[in-house]
Amino acid sequence: MADQVVLNAQERTEFGKGAARRLRREHRVPAVLYGHGAEPIHVSLPEHETMLALRVANAVLTLEIEGKESQLALAKDIQRHPIKDLVEHVDLLAVRRGEKVTVEVPLTIVGEIRGEHTIITDQTTISLEVEATHIPADIEIDISNLAIGDSVAAKDLVLPQGAVFTGDPDDLMLSIQAPSAADLGEAPEGAEESEDESAEGAEEE
């Protein structure tokens, strides 16, 4: 679980593209905080600190809003500039300590398998119901003891205490297969004959 980042959030009353551009010139990011049945709160966040915090999947932020109590918030939707490495807008979900949320957590493959093989990845993330303040950075899949023909399903994963997978336990995460001829850099069967025939035809011409 990543450390929670404290951000100075300022309420905003101006909206639209012009207002958003002015905020970005001031190196602040427009954001909306919603949840728990309350009216959405429109805020701006410091650009640099926000970009650093959002490098972590499912970042949980502590917002310090003037005149209000500190608020925990989960980054749910992040809009980024299509070319520049800039965050343009963030949707934030208000959360409480102990509250369960459903998030997509990245899967990370660790370990190595001896010999030639191909890893077929069926899923790159896993949907978990977990406490908002205890979201894991990732879930590891250890392939060290796997061989060709083996596979890993959701039920085989080691999840943090309290985390629950929201899908089918038999959902496939990855499988190990024998490498294809292309993976080994070998020519497909019959390819050499075709090349020979082409060469003979060229000589006859």
* Distances from the Cα of 55 to the Cα of 1, 110, 139, 189, angstroms: 13, 21, 17, 46
Average pLDDT over residues 42-55: 92
The verdict on residue 202 lying in a domain is: no
Residues 143 and 173 in one domain: yes
Q: What pTM does this model have?
A: 0.76
Residues 16 and 89 in one domain: yes
What is the Cα–Cα distance from 119 to 82, expressed in whole angstroms?
31
Higher-pLDDT residue of 191, 175: 175
* Distances from the Cα of 137 to the Cα of 57, 80, 97, 108, angstroms: 7, 21, 17, 10
What is the Cα–Cα distance from 11 to 6, expressed in whole angstroms?
16
Q: What is the pLDDT of residue 173?
A: 97
The verdict on residue 129 lying in a domain is: yes
Give the distance from CA 182 to its chain's centroid. Answer: 30
The verdict on residue 204 lying in a domain is: no
Tens-digit pLDDT profile for residues 65-121: 887 888 999 999 998 888 887 888 999 999 999 999 999 999 999 998 887 889 999
- The CATH code of the domain that includes 16 is 2.40.240.10
The verdict on residue 197 lying in a domain is: no
Q: 174: which strand partners?
A: 121, 152
State the total domains in the chain.
2
Whether residue 137 contacts residue 114, with contact meaning beta carbons closer than 8 Å, is answered with no
The verdict on residue 200 lying in a domain is: no
